[in-house]
Amino acid sequence: MIGRLKKIFGNGLGEDAGADGRRSQDDIRVAVCALFVEIGRIDETFTPAEVESVIEILKDKYGLSPEHADVLIQEATRELDDSLDLWQFAKMINANYSNAQKMEIVELMWRIVYVDGKMDDYEHYLMNKIKNLLRISHKDLIDAKLKVLHSS
């Protein structure tokens, strides 16, 4: 799987952080996608609509083909399954993304939450957890939610 990602995105996946602590774009994409996958499957059902939403987001955000988006989802799922928590993904995002970029991720996560038109308790819990992990304010979390709800 990692070999497939390297072919798609280059050779950076799995490399150690550089001297400045920054990671390869491949690692960051996997970290972001892991959050998207986790919000989609938090209620133990990763519905076809949620999968399609994640694929569309990855195509738009990174200019990926559907096949490449699928490979990224598979790698993110593997990384999630091998991880103990979401901290490793949030830590990488915090080290490499500005607050504005993190807010974009949160808005995209809200889009995934509301693909079915509602938010359940598990999704609510996870969005609040992500807010803390990405070090964004509650106000910013709610503003992002409202922006997504009003654009639907």
* Separation CA 36–CA 58 (nearest Å): 10
Which structure tokens are listed for 108?
């995209």
Q: What separation in angstroms does the CA of 69 have from each of 30, 56, 58, 73?
A: 10, 8, 6, 6
pTM of the model: 0.84
Question: Which 8-state DSSP code applies to residue 20?
Answer: T
Q: What is the pLDDT of residues 58-90, one digit of tens each?
A: 999 999 999 999 999 999 999 999 999 999 999
Backbone angles phi, psi at 3, to 5 degrees: -60, -40
Q: What's the pLDDT score for residue 3? A: 52
Q: What are the chain's domains?
A: 2-9+23-151 (1.10.3680.10)
